[in-house]
Structure 1
């Protein structure tokens, strides 16, 4: 399945979660619910995927964790914050570069309308 097709399912699933739960909960709650929705849609989801850094052929277990990694092609970073900022975007871009993936989503569930909290992030490789 192509990244854009996965992305469409991600957005629809996130909207479903947000419509049912609304804003104001912990990130872990949204993560668990979105994980469930994506798996129900038939996608392969790795939750809290460990992401080492490779430096000069050495794998360094730096403790990075991808919130949801879908079909090993699309990265989802979930937030429940007042506002997204540049460091959140940098985090997704870094994960995309380290995994050599092209597409990621930064989803902030702490908004009245989820469309205000969606950032599609593309890695130019």
Structure 2
């Protein structure tokens, strides 16, 4: 399946989840339900995946955690707040850059409509990671 098909499936499942449940739960509840729904479709799901960084020779274990990594190529950051802030998008773009991935989403289940809470993000080829900063591809413990 190509990345666009994968993105479409993830958006559809997120939309249905928001429609069925609505806003008001903790991020962890939405993360658990979204992961279960996507996994039931046969997609590989990693939750709370720890990512190690090395910066200028200094190892930083568990420098960040991905809420969801779908099929080893799509990052999903789950939120449950009244509004999605620019910092949430910046966070996902940084994750994509550090991991050498291209596609990600911020999914905010706290907004009144799903359309208001979803943001698709791409790792632009013009961005680069300094040669002194590297992330492991898929975290420490798996």
With structure 1 as the length reference, what TM-score do the two structures score? Answer: 0.94
Q: C-alpha distance in 2, partners of 1:106/1:47?
A: 15
Trace 1:1-125 onto structure 2 (pairs within 5 A): 1-125=1-125
Match of residue 136 from structure 2? none
With structure 2 as the length reference, what TM-score do the two structures score? Answer: 0.83
Q: Runs of 5+ in structure 2 lacking a partner? A: 126-142
- 1:76 counterpart SS class: strand
CA shift digits 1:10-48 (9 cap, x unpaired): 101101211111001100000000000110111101000
Higher relative contact order (CA 8 A, sep 6+): 2
Q: C-alpha distance in 2, partners of 1:73/1:65?
A: 15
Q: C-alpha distance in 1, partners of 2:101/2:5?
A: 15
- Give the ranges of 4+ consecutive aligned residues of structure 1 lying more than 6 Å apart after TM superposition: none
User: 2:13·2:34 contact (CA, 8 Å) conserved in 1?
Assistant: yes
Q: Structure 1 residues 72, 57: CA separation in 2 closer, same or farther (over 3 Å shift)?
A: farther
Q: Runs of 5+ in structure 1 lacking a partner? A: none
Structure with greater proportional helix content: 1
Across the aligned residues of Structure 1 and Structure 2, the Cα RMSD in angstroms comes to 1.2
